[in-house]
Amino acid sequence: MSKSTVPGAVFAAVVLAALTVSCGTTDRNGTGDTTAKAGTAAPADSTAPADTTAPADTAPPTGAETAAPPADAGGTGTPAPLPDSGETAPEKVRDAFAGLQATLNESCDVPADCPEFLGRVHEELQSMDRAMKADPKGPGHFPEPIALIQELNGELGGDRSFENLKKHQAMLVGTRDRINTWMQDHPDDYR
């Protein structure tokens, strides 16, 4: 018969607790909760009393915490968005291009779908523009697509209404198609 000792059980519990803490510190939901898996709510601890006070880490940052934004985890040198600033990190060029390509099989053939289609093409082009300008290679790496979007934006004059997008539909779709062709001819530029 084997004897189990209390110190051995305590040691095992401490090791398991330490591993749980060290493996569960990533904020997967962007909510500040480091215990929940992505897309799930944090489980309620039925053994702990309900805490109605605000967490201690909600104090505004001071001093060095606000001096410079940290680099992103991907190591691209692009600063990560500042917490609570409302600022979001720009998409990578390949991701923005995938969004633009997703519009290639869409059109205004169904009139009821036309406002959504034109709005989406416009938004995907703007996303491409932001991603190319924020790319670590620099905006000079994507001269033609950036120039095409700039020309389109000049024609649109800041008016993103359906009526204006419909008026410039040929230029909007043509810009998308020309950028698609350019990107296809330069695959190493965005991968």
pLDDT in tens, the chain (191 residues): 555 555 665 555 555 555 554 444 444 444 454 444 444 444 444 444 444 444 444 444 444 443 443 444 434 344 444 444 455 667 899 999 999 999 999 999 999 999 999 999 999 999 999 999 999 988 888 999 999 999 999 999 999 999 999 999 999 999 999 999 999 998 876 66
C-alpha angle 184-116-177 in degrees, rounded to nearest 5 = 20
Q: Please report, in angstroms and rounded to a whole number, the separation of the first and last CA atoms in the chain.
A: 62
Query: Is 35 within a domain?
Result: no
Query: Is 64 within a domain?
Result: no
Q: What pLDDT does 117 receive?
A: 97
The partner residues of 71 in beta bridges, in order of sequence, read 79
Global pTM exceeds 0.85: no
Task: Give the torsion sign (CA, 154, 122, 181, 132).
Answer: positive
Query: Is 171 within a domain?
Result: yes
Cβ atoms within 10 Å of 121's Cβ, excluding its own: 21
Q: How many domains does the chain have?
A: 1
Query: Is 150 within a domain?
Result: yes
Structure tokens, 168: 């410039």
Say how many CA atoms lie within 13 Å of 174 toward its Cβ: 9
Amino acid (one-letter) located at 44? A
Query: Is 50 within a domain?
Result: no
Query: Is 19 within a domain?
Result: no
Angstrom distance (rounded) from CA 130 to CA 134: 6
- Could you tell me the residue range of the domain that residue 140 belongs to? 93-103+110-189
Query: Is 67 within a domain?
Result: no
Query: Is 117 within a domain?
Result: yes
